[in-house]
Amino acid sequence: MTFNEFDFHPDIRKGVKIAGFREPSPIQKMAIPIIAEGSDMVGQAHTGTGKTAAFGLPMMHKIASGEIERALVITPTRELATQVSDELYHLGRFSGIRTLTVYGGVGYGRQIALIHKGVQIVVATPGRLKDLYRKGKIDVFNPEIVVLDEADEMLDMGFLEEIKEIFEYIPQNRQTLLFSATMPEPIKELAEDVLYNPEFISVVGKEDATTNNIIDQRYYVINENERDDAIVKLLETEDTDKCLIFCRMKREVDRLSEYLAAQGFNARGLHGDMEQPERDEVVRGYRRGQVKILVATDVASRGLDVKNVSHVFNYHIPFDPQSYVHRIGRTGRAGKSGQAITLVSTGEFKELQRIQKEVGAEMRLATIDNGAGISEEAVESMTERIRSIDIHPEVNMLIDRVSDIDQELLLKKVISLLMDSTEGTLGEKIGLDQNMVDEMMENLQDEARSTRTKNRRKRRH
What pLDDT does residue 420 have?
64
**Digit-coded pLDDT (tens) for 429-445:** 677 777 877 777 777 67
CA–CA dist 136, 384 (Å, integer): 74
Query: Mean pLDDT over residues 372-392, rounded?
Result: 68
* Backbone phi, psi, residue 308, to 5°: 60, 40
CA–CA dist 101, 111 (Å, integer): 8
Q: Which residue has the higher pLDDT, 55 or 434?
A: 55
Choosing among 3.50.50.60, 3.30.9.10, 3.40.50.300, 1.10.260.40, the CATH entry for 3-202 is 3.40.50.300
What average pLDDT does the chain have?
Answer: 84
The residue type found at 410 is L
pLDDT at 457 over 80: no
For residues 185 and 338, is the Cβ–Cβ distance under 8 A?
Answer: no
Angle between helices 160-169 and 185-194 (to 10 degrees): 0
Query: Mean pLDDT over residues 304-327, rounded?
Result: 82
Strands (E) across 91-168 are located at 99-102, 121-124, 145-148
Query: Mean pLDDT over residues 271-284, rounded?
Result: 84
Among 79, 368, 364, residue whose Cα is nearest residue 222: 368
Assign a CATH topology to domain 207-369: Rossmann fold (3.40.50)
What pLDDT does residue 400 have?
84
Q: Which residue has the higher pLDDT, 206 or 104?
A: 104
Show me where the domains of the chain are located.
3-202, 207-369, 376-426
User: Residue 322: how many CB atoms within 10 A of its CB?
Assistant: 17
Asked, colleague to colleague, whether 3-202 and 207-369 share their fold, the answer is: yes
The residue type found at 139 is D
Judged by DSSP in three states, 199 sits in: strand
What pLDDT does residue 206 have?
45
The DSSP string of 342-367 is EEEEGGGHHHHHHHHHHHT--EEE--
What pLDDT does residue 179 have?
94
H or E stretch at 244: strand 242-246
Strands (E) across 117-236 are located at 121-124, 145-148, 175-180, 199-202, 215-222
Q: Which residue has the higher pLDDT, 272 or 300?
A: 272
CA–CA dist 258, 3 (Å, integer): 45
Strands (E) across 27-139 are located at 41-44, 71-74, 99-102, 121-124
Query: Mean pLDDT over residues 269-292, rounded?
Result: 86
CA–CA dist 210, 105 (Å, integer): 38
What pLDDT does residue 193 have?
92
